[in-house]
A and B are shown apart, each in its own frame.
Chain A
Amino acid sequence: MAGAASWSFGEEDSRRIEGLLQGFLYDAGARCALLVDRTGQLVATVGEQPEFDSVAFASLAAADFSANDQLATMIGENEFSSLFHQGEKESMYLADVAKRVILVVLFDNRTTLGMVRVKVKNVVRELAGIFREMFDRYAASQSRPYLETAFVDEAEDEIDRLFGDL
């Protein structure tokens, strides 16, 4: 089916990834880690729950990363595999994971960029392994995740209810 979801994120995958990121946050002294897929959807948030709108944040982070990828190509690089944005108190470090997901790390002056960078390298390697395994599993099963008919009926009713009289 052309439009069926191309991947899904299961509870077991989620547990493994969250465990890994919790360990990383502790080691790096960072506050929060978000995983955002390249299309701008938030996959997971670990650590201190952010006070900002994380849905909007995810769309902007993906756009930021994609725009920088294009800039990299223009100067003859294949990619910028990581980006760093420095603020006065809060900073963020973004790193590519298996070309499908972006790891966004939020940290403040309780740690250093060097520490975050070193720890990110390791965690990205491990995350990439998990994601590759996940994508291979879906590719091998040849059945893409899909929604049952009852879901579609209910969603359509909800669309009519929400947008019907506007």
Chain B
Amino acid sequence: MSMINYASREINCKIVYYGPGLCGKTTNLEYVYEKVSPNTRGKLISLATETERTLFFDFLPVDLGSIRGFKTRFHLYTVPGQVYYNASRKLILKGVDGVVFVADSQVERLDANIESMHNLYENLAEYGLDLREIPFVIQYNKRDLPNISSLQELEEQLNPGRVPYFEAVGVRGIGVFDTLKSVSKSVIKSLS
């Protein structure tokens, strides 16, 4: 639910990174924070436990600058991946404009990916949103690890709607900006 503020001439869009625990959602935001120029991004806020597991969310605002007189900004959020934090996950999805599902490519995490994808559908449905109708991309992360599912299998299990997908190695930044570019363009298009 992006809001166009004609008074302050601002447009803010909310993009949420979703996925199972330890799939690399926070790593995506950390890489974006590290790489974009400091005058383009705000503070990276992380509400995490002492062991650096996301407790509530991470938040990073990224400015596109002024587009036709409107200061345009993306608010990037992650959700806590661990199953028992569902109440918090649901809150973060409120007013979402675009979703990135970060899947963990490791074979032993396939079931966790599927469960998290179902959970995403269910939580969006509670806000009357359908993943097939909002900007949505999938990132297959950790492609550098040895024990990973094939791309074909991941696509079959997680991407029946054939939305754009990207292979990634989040810790090295591979695929991180391709994913962000794709979802942010899709969000902007959905506003026209």
User: Interface on A for B, CB 8 Å cutoff?
Assistant: 1-11, 13-15, 37-44, 53, 55-56, 59-60, 63, 66-67, 70, 145-152, 154-156, 158-160, 162-164, 166
Contacts and interface: CB of A to CB of B under 8 A. Distances in A.
Interface string B58-81: 010110110110101101010000
Given A4-B190, A63-B57, A151-B67, A41 B36 contact: no
Nearest to A148: B192
B9 to A, nearest CB: 9
Which range holds the interface residue count of chain B?
A: 35 or more
B91 A70 contact: yes
B61 A56 contact: yes
A156 B188 contact: yes
Given A56-B45, A67-B91, A145-B4, A40 B189 contact: no
Nearest to A70: B87
Given A59-B59, A148-B192, A158-B65, A9 B45 contact: no
A3 B5 contact: no
Interface of B: 1-8, 11-12, 14, 35-36, 40, 42-43, 45, 47, 56-57, 59, 61-62, 64-65, 67-68, 70, 72-73, 75, 77, 87-88, 91-92, 94-98, 133-135, 173, 177, 180-181, 184-185, 187-192
Contacts of A66: 91, 94
B53 to A, nearest CB: 17
Q: Across chains A and B, which 10 residue pairs bring their CB atoms closest together, nearest first?
A: A39-B95, A3-B190, A14-B7, A8-B4, A2-B133, A66-B91, A9-B5, A41-B12, A166-B35, A155-B188
